[in-house]
Amino acid sequence: MERLDAIIEELIEKAKNILRHSYAPYSGIHVSSAIYTDKGNIYLGVNVENSSYGLTICAERSAIASMVSNGERKPLIVAIITDYPQPIPPCGACRQVIAEFNEDTVIVMYSIKSKVKQIVRLSEIFKSPFKL
């Protein structure tokens, strides 16, 4: 358990360090993500908004793309950091993308404003991912 706590704190710190790179001129909500994989590696991402809102890339999917680009396929922990007053969960699209690789991923949500941290398993908040 101590090891898990240490990994979670490391993910939060790494994601906090890149939060300033988030591009959020439309919502004003900055989000970063850090993913810890079964190989012990960490991948980072930030949200990148677009004036055509549907083209926005969430931080979690940005980090997942980095993970996959580096040849990995199994996220164990996904940390989502925001400057919003409360932690925010992954959106539906991000839940589906994370579930593609590991339905039981630990999701850590943290707000730098309120210092509130929430931890759940993806399977608790996403009961029925789409599967072929």
Q: Return the active site residues.
A: 60
Name the strand (E) or helix (H) holding 98.
Answer: helix 92-101
* Residue 26 contacts residue 51 (beta carbons within 8 Å): yes
Q: CA 17, CA 99: separation in Å to the nearest integer? A: 26
The string of DSSP letters for 6-24 reads HHHHHHHHHHHHHGGG-B-
Output the CA angle 84-87-89, nearest 5 degrees.
Answer: 115
Residue 105 in tokens: 């991923």
Q: CA 26, CA 10: separation in Å to the nearest integer? A: 29
